[in-house]
Amino acid sequence: MAPAFDTYSRDPEDVARVFRYFAEVETPRLGSRVYTDYCAGVAEDAALLELACRTMPSQPPPNVLFAAVKSLLLEDAGRSDEARALARFYPVVSGEPIPDESAFPAFRAFCLAHAAELDPMLRTGRAQTCVVHRSAIMLPAIGTLPRVAAAQGRVALLEIGPSIGLNLRLDAYRFVYEGDGTTLTWGAPEARPQLDCEIRGPAPPLPERLEIVARHGLELSPIDLDDPHAVRWLRALIWPEHVLRGRLMDEAIAVAERIPAEIAAGDATKDLEAAVARLPKDAPRVVFATVALYQIDDAGQRAIHEALARASTAAPLDFVTMESDGEGSTRIDHFAFEGGAATGHAVLARADSHGRWIEWGRDG
């Protein structure tokens, strides 16, 4: 089911449609009964829609509203009766299983009681969660590109919209791919996080080795690993039922604390060519984006492709994207650039948007 709404509009009726779509498609698909309750409730509630309309037009209102609420709970779940009542729906806060009742009444009461504290987060918050599990999709997609394989796995990476950049450290993780009697592993057995990924259809190819010689990011709103508020916002973006995801993020943050990446502040629609020029040229250069381009309009996405074409005048360039196809599926695309022009495009795979399964080689 394709979303039939304008995600940039802050007209309450349009925003209600976004919440309805999330209630019907997104939150069930990602296994959140709590957020399904919230979305269904907010869609019919004028006071909560007014709060959701305060979010920045480029941002998905449900994610930002829910993260603002969870951030306050992570900061102090004992701040009020409303907070204590709502905290029961967040196992990471309560330490208990989620109660079997609708979460919406407690959510509504909390939002109305704490609207003033939510306000600044609603107005500035970005849905810039970093889903480390997407590394399980980028490992075969980037690691087996012909130019990277020919260079024995050496690669210089530039990620568009990396958030805190956990997927720029993918070579440090452990991967286990399983499906239909096949198990593939990659990385040191003791490495953490361990990312488990279900194989659907043909098994993905894995690189023999991967040597990331540069880890660069270009991020509209970089996150400082040393800023506890910023890191709390990232944790707040994780949905209540996704307890494992929270643990994987914490393990990946520990990796990021020892493996540096250079994440520059900038807008990929304007600053990409200069960012590519900063990559070393003695290894294949790969630009990638995972679930970031949806925040960039069509003109901006065209500007990105044009910048990559120009940047390929100096040396060839590969671009790997993992984005929604607008029809409820996530597609992995590879675009090649050389001599100042686009030289090829292939669909590499389909995958779960959070990287929990991969269907390699399904073109179209």
Residues that bind ligand SAM (CB under 6 A): 126-131, 134, 160-163, 167, 218-221, 267-269, 290-292, 295-296
Nearest to ligand SAM by Cβ — which residue? 161
Q: Which is nearer to ligand SAM, 36 or 269 (CB)?
A: 269
Give the closest residue to 244 by CA, choosing from 278, 194, 205: 194
Supply the minimum distance, in Å, between the C-beta of residue 216 and ligand SAM: 12
Q: Which is nearer to ligand SAM, 36 or 163 (CB)?
A: 163
Supply the minimum distance, in Å, between the C-beta of residue 9 and ligand SAM: 18
User: What is the number of residues in the chain?
Assistant: 364
Q: Are 19 and 61 in contact (CB under 8 A)?
A: yes
Q: Which is nearer to ligand SAM, 328 or 344 (CB)?
A: 328
Q: What are phi and psi of 209, to 5 degrees?
A: -145, 160
* Tokens at 230, concatenated: 């910023």
Supply the minimum distance, in Å, between the C-beta of residue 137 and ligand SAM: 10
Supply the minimum distance, in Å, between the C-beta of residue 58 and ligand SAM: 7
Q: Which is nearer to ligand SAM, 45 or 352 (CB)?
A: 352
Supply the minimum distance, in Å, between the C-beta of residue 134 and ligand SAM: 5
Give the closest residue to 2 by CA, choosing from 25, 19, 31, 36: 25
Residue linked to tokens 């001599």: 339
Q: Which is nearer to ligand SAM, 287 or 292 (CB)?
A: 292
Supply the minimum distance, in Å, between the C-beta of residue 132 and ligand SAM: 7
Give the closest residue to 239 by CA, choosing from 95, 91, 83: 91
- State whether residue 206 is helix, strand or coil: coil
The DSSP 8-state label assigned to residue 306 in this structure reads H
Cα distances from 207 to residues 50, 139, 195, 211, in angstroms, run: 49, 8, 16, 10
